[in-house]
Each structure stands twice: as C-alpha cells, then as structure tokens.
Structure 1
Amino acid sequence: MSDKLAPDPRLLVRERGLAGYVEDFRRRIAGGELGSIPVIIGMIIIAVVFEAQTGTFLSPRNLSNITVYIAGPGIMAVGIVLVLLLGEIDLSVGSMAGLSAAIWAVLSVSHGVNDLVAIGLAILAGAAVGTLHGFFFAKIGVPAFVVTLAGFLGWSGLQIWVMGDEGTINIPRDSLVRDFNNFYFSDIAAAYGLAAALSLGYLAALVFQERRRGAAGLPTRPLSEIILRVGLVAVAAFVTAYTLNQHRGLPLALVIFLAILLLADFMVRRTTYGRQIFAVGGNAEAARRAGINVERVRLTVFTIASALAALGGLFYAAQAGGASKSLGSGNLLMNVIAAAVIGGTSLFGGRGWVWSALLGTLVIQSITTGLNLMGMASEIQYMITGAVLLVAVVLDSVSRRTQRTAGRT
C-alpha cells in the first residue's frame, strides 16, 4: 500500500485554473450551496425593473437615501443573524428598539442628561434585556420563542410607561441621534477614502489568510484569484463612493452600519467564540460534549442581539424625528427577521453569514423604495415582501435537502 496522500480536491480545483473554478461552481450549485447568488440576482432584477418603471430608482439621491434607511434595520438584522445561527429566534427586537428610543429621549431630552451618556445607557438597557432573555433560555430552559414573545409584550408596555404622558418626544436639532440620519461627510475624500480602506483591508485580510494556510500546509488561492476578488470589491466600493458623492457625500449612518458589520464578521469568522456559535447552532449536544459552554454562548448571543436592537432603535428614532409610544411596532420585527433570512442566513441554525444582514436589508428597502416611487399602497409592499421571504425560505429548505442528499450535512 502506498503511503502517498491523496491530493486535496480544493488544491486540484485551483491548479486547473478557470476550468477548475467553473467545475467547482457547478458542483456547489448541484449540491445546494447557493450562497448569495439568489440575493444578488434578485437585487439586479429589482434595480432593472424599478428603474424601467420610475426612471429615478438608480439616481444618486435615491440610492443615497437607501443607504441611510438600511442602517437601523440592518444593525438590528446583524443581531438576528447571530440568533438564527444558534437555530433560535428573538421576537423582542422591535419592542426593544422602541424602548431604547424612549429611554434615550426621556433621559436626554426631558431630563437633560448628556446625549452620549443617554445613548450609552439606552444600549446598556438593551444588553441587560438580552441578558435576561438569555438567562431564562440558556439557564432555566424556557424556549427562546416563549421568552422573547413575553419580552415583546412586556417591553412594549414598559416603553409606554417610560414615555409617560408624552405621546412623542421630538429630537433637538443639536442631538447626536439626529446626526444618525442627517449627517453626511460632504468632502469627497471621505467616501473615496473609505472605499480605498475597505479594498486595502480586504487585500490585507486575504494575504494574511493565505500566508497562514500556506504555513499550515493547506491549499492557497493563486495570486490571480486574490487580484480578482480584491478588484471586484474595489469596483463595488468606488462605484458606491462615486454615487454617494453625486448627492450629499458619505452618510454617517452607513459608516456606523459598515463598522458593525465588519466587527461582527470578524467575531463570527475569525474568533473562537464565533466558531462556537456555529457549533452550537449546528448541534448543541455535540458542542457541549466538545467542551463548549453552550449556556454561555446562548446567553451572550441574546445579549449582543438585544444591544444591537437598542442601537437600531435610535436610528429609527432619528428617521422618525423623535421617540414615540408606537416606535418599533408594526412590521419592524418581521422586516428585520426577513432581512436576515432573505440575505442567506438559515432559519434552521448553523449556517449563514453576517453580511446577509446587509444584503437582505438592501432587498427589502429597495422593494419598499421602488414601490413608493411608483405610488403603490403599503399593503402591496407587505405582500411582495412576504412573497420574497417565502421564496428565500423555500430556497433554504431545498438547499438543505439537496445537501443532505449529496452527503454534505
């Protein structure tokens, strides 16, 4: 018997060049590994249809507005992605968003507390709520659905109580929360500088990753693939920067959203804690036997998700012009969950990525904005968003079934 090890199939793919990548792509599609392809195709179709119908959908003004509108729900969707990776759900994020806005408004506007301090306390309140949810779920064993449903009702009531006799508390002109929606870096260097930083950062991350893989004796990407990947990211980043600069510049809301995405992506993909989230979501009992503190992972994920919901609530308050007793109600919860699922995170746990929060929120906001430009009624928007969500869940289910058939799960 020969002692020669069989070559790694991933290495063979890369050694064969373009033909190898095409074959690998076909294999992944046949095996149900769709990734972000359906979302990207859907976004292209949405852009083409609405531009043809309105003539203004792809205007710099409209696209800039979309980047501002997605910040609030997108930040909240990042937290939902983490919860979904556990195979769980959080139904309280909408009411938590409203409660955090109420806490900030009462402290900052009504009682004169420093704006930054009030923002921090509102986010800390969200973290405390998430910790409470996580405790009942992870330590006591109450299903997350029940715990967060109770939270949805309870925190909505607390929000009304915190607001007191005030139906609405308007945001002062000099408030930092107001800047979440209205502040733009008007210097064109800001948008182009961010695009350059993202491109160079991605290049550095790829080079660092490939060096580590090479040092460990694992297959590495050829230089041509690295250049192609970085080139695509750079084109997307600089086109976005150019478009934003045609209107008012780089929105602060987008900068904060991207920062949270990058931090969350690093945590999930590059840290032990992130790998533990996937392990618990894939098989909690196996993770426990492997020495992972399952209760700690679950509790902290709900803490992070609720804190992000609190921050997202401040963005919603900025867009609404103030905090109110009804902020966070309506279809906010469903849109946030739908964004995570439409973006490619599985409802069944253990599979997904942080950037699905961006993709899914872009899809939903693009549909909403496009239908508004066409003058469509809100009920039509709800029906179309629901249909898109159903398609995303069906694709996820079919993908998982195909992977089981192919022996990959």
Structure 2
Amino acid sequence: MTKSAEQNAHTTPMLDRRDERVKHAEGVGGSIRAFLDRVRSGDLGALPVVVGLVIIWTVFQSLNPVFLAPNNLVNLLFDCSTVGVIALGIVCILIVGEIDLSVGSVSGFASALLGVMWVNQGWPVAAAILAALVFGALIGALYAVLFNRFGMPSFVATLAGLLSVLGLQLYLLGSTGSINLPYGSPLVEFGQLLVMPDPVSYALAALPGIVMFVLGYRTAARRRAAGLSAQPMSSLLLRSLVITVILEFIVYYLNLDRGIPWMFGLFVGLVVAMNYALTRTKWGRQMLAVGGNREAARRAGINVRFIYTTAFMLCSGLAAAGGILSAARLASASQQAGTGDVNLNAIAAAVIGGTSLFGGRGSAYSALLGIIVIQSIASGLTLLDLSSSLRYMITGAVLAIAVIVDSLARRSRASHGRA
C-alpha cells in the first residue's frame, strides 16, 4: 500500500460507517453501549442464565456456607458432566426446531451395552465404548429416516424410540438388572477420581482468552483489509484479560481441594468443539438457517435432509456418550440408568441455558450453563436436607421462566428488526 493510500485509509470512513444515521461503537465505552442496546432490543444471549446462576448461588451460600466450598463444587462438576453431554446433543436438535424425547433411554441402553460387551462378553473396553457410540448414532439415523422419508414428527418418532430402546435395555440386562463395572479400571477411575494436575488446569484456563484474542485479531485484520470497521484492539484485549483472570481464579479455587475433574474437562472440550462447529463452519451456519426457516434454507440450496440427519445422529450419539460417562461415574450399568429425570434434565438444561424452543437460535454453551444451573439447585437442596420434590418444582419454575424470557426476547427482536 502506498503512502497516499494509507493516508486515505485513515481519513476516509470505513465502507460500513459512511451512513451517519447508524450508530457505531467506538472504544470500550462504545462496546458497552452496544451491548446494552442489544439487551434492550431482546438479544440477551447468556445474560439471563448468568444472572439466575448468581442469584441461585447467593441464596444457597447464605443458607449453607458449605455450598461454595471447593469440595462441593468439585462434586458438582462431576455430576454436571454426564447429563451435560446429553444436553449438548439436545442443543443440536433444538437448533433445527425438532426434539428428541429418547435421549434418556439411549443413554441407559448405551451403558447397558457397555456393561454386557465389556464385562460379560470380554470385549476390550475401547471396542465396547465405540460400539455403544455407533449404536447411539444409528438410532439417530433411524429417526432421521422416519422424519425425512415418511414425515413422522420427531415428537412421535422419538417417543416410540424411548419405549423401544428402554425395552432393549431391560432385555440386555436380563433378570440380574445390573452389571458392576470393574473397580480400579481406567474408565471407572476417569468417572470417579481422576482430576487434572495443577499446571495442566492453569494452562487450559488460559487457553480460551488466548484463542479469543487471536481469532478476534485475525477477524479485525481481515475486516480492515476489506475496508470495513473492526473491533478495537483495546476492547478485544480487555475482554480476553477479564475472561482469563476469571477462569484462572476458578481453577485456583477448585485446586484448593481436588481440582478440575478430567470428565468435566472432556465435557467442556466437547462444548468448545461444538461451538466452533456451529459458529465457524458451513455446517453450523446451515444448522441455524434450517432452524430459522426450513423452506428458505431449502431454496437457498441447503441440503435440508442432510442437516436434519446430522442433528438427529449427533443428539443420539451424545446421549450414548453421556450414558457411558454415567456408567463410569456410578461404576455400574443398571435398569435405572437413563430413567427418572435424566430426559427432562437434559432438555431443561438446553432450554434454561438459552437455546430457543422455536429453533434457529442456540449455543453449545447453553448445555454448559444450563446443567450447572440444574445441578446447583440439586446440590443446594441436598445440602439443606430438603425433599427432592422441591427440586422438581424449582427446576420446573426455572424452566418456565426461561421459556417466557425466550418468548419475550423473540418478540422484542422482531419489533426491533433483529429476529
């Protein structure tokens, strides 16, 4: 670029800022004002669930000082991992505007299949895990065929799957009803004991801030090269530093006890990978497009059937992964695995975390935030020695509030032209 071109680049307004009637964020203060404008227009993001989580933690901590103790938080992270992985699959299916009611049964069947193949049949544990994951994905492929080829609503197809897969689970376990997994095996230790070494946890905590800064810097450089405005480096650096400081403090606090469980690290890794796929790949953009308007996506040349197939397969495959982690956590595969409130907690976690029931909007981080909310309620009530009936009522109330907030935010976005 010549000297005169450089001078023109500094003096001429960017292509997307030549209209003086449009407000543009400048500096850190401008970024804060832009964020407040988005909130007022209904683009809430994760704000409601973060505020709700702060309120829940404040209430339980005031009632029982043990709630935010490092030991209790480490146990909470162990418990979040199993249902959280299932909720991550629910996020995928909700984004395309469908539902899967069989994830609990699929997770229970996957744990039963793992126990039968590994303990009873003598398969290597890796082969048994792979078989359970493949079978889970095949169940999702069957749902996709019923949906794409025969037009069967996902509600009906997965409800039938719930009953059928539960029957398969009971048949596999037979009269014994449960299979104990070998204590001391790497899988069981992974689900119950293994935590990250301190240096590893601190290094991983610094990684999100670094990645955010690098990706933001590259995006800003490309926008400036195209003659467009870009996020100020001061704002980007501040956000990265704040996130890094918060995560490092969390790791330090948890390391006062046992530290970060590897199982929770696996869950967070899956969340990060899914977030990247949804936000920075062609497939992810197509998922959101199909969920927003199926017919418009089809006319735009998107293979809608393929998108639905991948969503159903991911949902069932992640449900199977959650069942395997649950078996590792409990060191057993039983007829009760995947039953009870597993189904509802997984769906509730995705919705409470911010994924819209109307399709087209959602984030992988919804599963992470939502399951932390649900497990925080369960942990707090357990410490207070209160009835589990309260847990169901409070979780139901939180779920209802989340849906109401999503519906109101959707109307606000429509009225402000952001829908």
Q: Into which bin does the TM-score normalised by the smaller protein fall? A: over 0.9
Q: Which amino acid aligns with 1:13?
A: H
Q: Which amino acid aligns with 1:234?
A: T
Could you say which residue in structure 1 is the equivalent of 2:273? Answer: 263
1:346 aligns with 2:356: yes
Q: Which amino acid aligns with 2:127?
A: V
1:362 aligns with 2:372: yes
Alpha-carbon displacement from aligned partner over 1:168-192 (angstroms, at most 9, x marks no partner): 1111113333133223235311211
Distance in structure 1 (CA, Å) of the matches to 2:207 and 2:35? 30
Question: TM-score when scaled to structure 1?
Answer: 0.95
Q: How far does residue 278 in structure 1 lie from its aligned partner after superposition? A: 0.4
Name the CA shift for 1:135/1:52 in 2 (closer, same or farther; >3 Å): same
User: Matches of residues 207-218 of structure 1 in structure 2 within 5 Å?
Assistant: 207-218=217-228
User: Matches of residues 143-158 of structure 1 in structure 2 within 5 Å?
Assistant: 143-158=153-168
Counterpart selection for 2:120 from 110, 118, 134: 110
Distance in structure 2 (CA, Å) of the matches to 1:306 and 1:9? 50
* C-alpha contact (below 8 Å) 2:205/2:248 kept by paired residues: yes
- Secondary structure at the aligned position of 1:336 is classed as helix
User: Matches of residues 41-52 of structure 1 in structure 2 within 5 Å?
Assistant: 41-52=51-62
Q: Which amino acid aligns with 1:274?
A: G
* C-alpha contact (below 8 Å) 2:348/2:370 kept by paired residues: yes
Distance in structure 2 (CA, Å) of the matches to 1:203 and 1:6? 24
- Secondary structure at the aligned position of 1:340 is classed as helix
Counterpart selection for 2:392 from 362, 376, 382: 382
- Secondary structure at the aligned position of 1:345 is classed as coil
User: Matches of residues 90-129 of structure 1 in structure 2 within 5 Å?
Assistant: 90-129=100-139
Structure 2 spans left out of the alignment, 5+ residues: 1-14
Q: How far does residue 217 in structure 1 lie from its aligned partner after superposition? A: 3.2
Q: How far does residue 134 in structure 1 lie from its aligned partner after superposition? A: 1.0
Distance in structure 2 (CA, Å) of the matches to 1:42 and 1:392? 10
* C-alpha contact (below 8 Å) 1:339/1:359 kept by paired residues: yes
Could you say which residue in structure 1 is the equivalent of 2:10? Answer: none
- Secondary structure at the aligned position of 1:250 is classed as coil
Question: TM-score when scaled to structure 2?
Answer: 0.93
Name the CA shift for 1:104/1:406 in 2 (closer, same or farther; >3 Å): same
1:142 aligns with 2:142: no
* C-alpha contact (below 8 Å) 1:80/1:340 kept by paired residues: yes
Across the two proteins, how many residue pairs are aligned to each other? 405
Alpha-carbon displacement from aligned partner over 1:105-154 (angstroms, at most 9, x marks no partner): 00001111101111111111101111111111122211111111110111
Distance in structure 2 (CA, Å) of the matches to 1:121 and 1:26? 48
Alpha-carbon displacement from aligned partner over 1:210-230 (angstroms, at most 9, x marks no partner): 223333333211111111111
Could you say which residue in structure 2 is the equivalent of 1:289? Answer: 299
Q: How far does residue 34 in structure 1 lie from its aligned partner after superposition? A: 1.4
Q: How far does residue 36 in structure 1 lie from its aligned partner after superposition? A: 1.1
Name the CA shift for 1:143/1:45 in 2 (closer, same or farther; >3 Å): same
Name the CA shift for 1:8/1:325 in 2 (closer, same or farther; >3 Å): farther
Counterpart selection for 1:7 from 8, 18, 23: 18
- Secondary structure at the aligned position of 1:329 is classed as coil
Mean alpha-carbon deviation: is it higher for 72-81 or for 313-322? 313-322
- Secondary structure at the aligned position of 2:25 is classed as helix
Q: Which amino acid aligns with 1:307?
A: G
Q: How far does residue 327 in structure 1 lie from its aligned partner after superposition? A: 0.7
Counterpart selection for 1:317 from 314, 327, 345: 327
Aligned residues: percent identity? Answer: 43
